[in-house]
Structure 1
Amino acid sequence: MSKYQVNEKGYYGNFGGAYIPEMLYPNVEELRQQYLTIMQRPDFRAEFNQLLKDYVGRPSPLYLARRLSERYKANVFLKREDLNHTGAHKINNTIGQILLAERLGKKRIIAETGAGQHGVATATVCALKGLECVVYMGAVDIERQAPNVARMKMMGAEVVAANSGSKTLKDATNEALRDWINNPVDTHYIIGSVVGPHPYPDMVARFQSVISEETKRQLLEQTGRENPDFAIACVGGGSNAIGMFYHFLDEPTVRLVAVEAAGLGVESGESAATTALGREGVLHGSRSILMQTADGQVVEPYSISAGLDYPGIGPQHAWLYTSGRAQYSSITDDEAMKAGLLLTRLEGIIPAIESAHALAQLEKMTFRKDDNVVVCLSGRGDKDLDNYMKYFGF
């Protein structure tokens, strides 16, 4: 078994576990006991794969970005998760979890969302399966991601504003956990990233691993080599990055690069660069690395991208960071916005601001001309047009 995957106790090295109130124990334990068995059933695999193909539109293309490649003097490939139904990688996980919830007999679905892409993906699969859907979203994010809020409501989801704390993703997660405690029997909580108590980080990673699984096949087809030299992805909680890294974790020749949000600068006090600023602690049900004060209070994160302003990272990322298997760096708002505009001008693709952080990392790297570099383009920029327009004064 890979030393980078979860062990039988729910840990990645020192990180992971299930630090939960007693009231949540039955929900989490039911999942832990059944998720692998259900996911391995032939009927589950068949329906999951069929929906990914015919509903989501997978495989998503692996696109050799020629003008970007000229600029960075390497073969730069974009894994086009932005072309999935709903516009991001999030749908891979919500399809998997809704099938799991169905088989567990759950009739009501709750979720948290930051940028709104996970909320949209959850509302989408609930509409598909005819299940009740409640999405918790920070009041600040509701304002800056209005098109996604409209999509969720159109799908029939109830969107509930989180008005505590920084009114962003952390607070939406807190509200969703409260709901789950109050509705333990009929409700399944679809967590949108590789965070939360075990088995969520492992379960979400398995659903997102389709990203690297396809990449290996597509690279082999296009280049004759199935492993890239570099795999690069942005990290908030970290699900698109784990999906991008999953099948390369035990391939030492593949350099894994995870990109966090530095906001206004790592030391500015307005940042979400967890690995640079954080230390070990417990957040949202697992032991990981998080931004906290000397007395253990969670520090409010900041990023121009609603999907990256999370004060922690998933426990598997914490292990990849501390073990040295992956490199973790951070990109400022300014660097990300410029990278987003650059991709748009060079390739005619408008990336989500989250994904633009990963693209900005290319500016800080040097490559050999035959290097194959894969960047996970985790989402499309439609939801961020207002932000782009304000920032550049269009």
Structure 2
Amino acid sequence: MSDSAPVPPLRVTAILLAGGRGTRAAFAQPKQLQSLGGKPLLRWSLDAFAAHPRVSGGVLVASDDVMAATAELPEGWTFAAAGAERQRSVENGLLALADWEDDALVLVHDAARPGIEAAVIDRLLAALATAEAAIPTLPVPDTLVHQAGEEAGNVVDRSALARVQTPQAFRLGTLRRAHAAAAGETATDDAQLVRRLGIPVVAVEGDARLHKLTYAADRAILEGLLEARAMTRTAVGMGYDVHRLVADKPLWLGGIEIEHSHGLEGHSDADVALHALTDAILGALGDGDIGTHFPPSDPEWRGAASWRFLDFAARRVEAVGGRIDHADLTIIAEAPKIGPNRGLIQARIAEILAIPPARISVKATTTERLGFTGRREGIAAQAVVTLQLPET
């Protein structure tokens, strides 16, 4: 990992398909509105996309009655009308994304699969770093046979077979070309249309919790899966750091360089704001502190950019299946003035943590010229971070 700033990730959007009627399950209302785990089926997928730090908006493709029952959408989302079949619905969703660049990434998901997990989205987006299309799949565990009526026929070799799930991920331009080239030909999913262009589709590990509501019996299965998924706990961590101000050194604060007569002295770039945030995250995880993972005795971290420490802590949260809900940072300094740089600091921290800026609070205060910060001998920072973690 170099000390240079990371390349901004490509924008990610989603198309959530909610046009099915649930006729095979004989529901009295559209299956997307069926209550599961205390909320409508499609709300599980909407909430999952809205909570994912990489997804910045999307399109809910739905019938009029589903739209009417889903008046409130997450920020950055819009409606599109459902088509007579799935393929037309996706095309309507693409039309609603007309102002998105071809290099953006798009996740196409069936709302009938409410058990979407952030880890599946992460695997799909990681695959798109080198591929144009990716789908989640699971192995087929059961014996398969040909069947005609009530008679079971020959066994089918399942070793080369897999179950395909959604969301399916694509470069937006690739998906647009695939639908434009379909020319009236139909397919059961978008990956088929992409393969017709001769473009390989990468398979990543799916998730058994992405079970689809098709028949009435699926409701009980999904209720159990969603109940288990809801078992999370909130963890709160606090971090504090202070460094001395010295002359003739650049001042790094909140991940940005601020013009000032003095900089902060330390083994790394001594960014007290990012150090406090790093310790807050590690504290919420019960995973030591910044000195545990990046000891000042280790020459590898001499002069290191502190965004590397914060990025490390954020990845530790991902590794245990958690997410960062909110970060509250207070910088304590007489000078320089933080106000003019608050927006830049907020945006930089959001970029490092891969969460929306709205989930980050950046404040500044002084000690009314009291103590070492009041005498302009140093700068301090304290942070509080809230995480959602799986029950253990």
TM-score normalized with structure 1 length: 0.25
Query: Which has the larger strand fraction?
Result: 2
Flag the structure with more relative contact order, 1 or 2, with Cα contacts below 8 A and sequence separation at least 6.
1
Greater gyration radius: 2
Query: Which has the larger helix fraction?
Result: 1
TM-score normalized with structure 2 length: 0.25
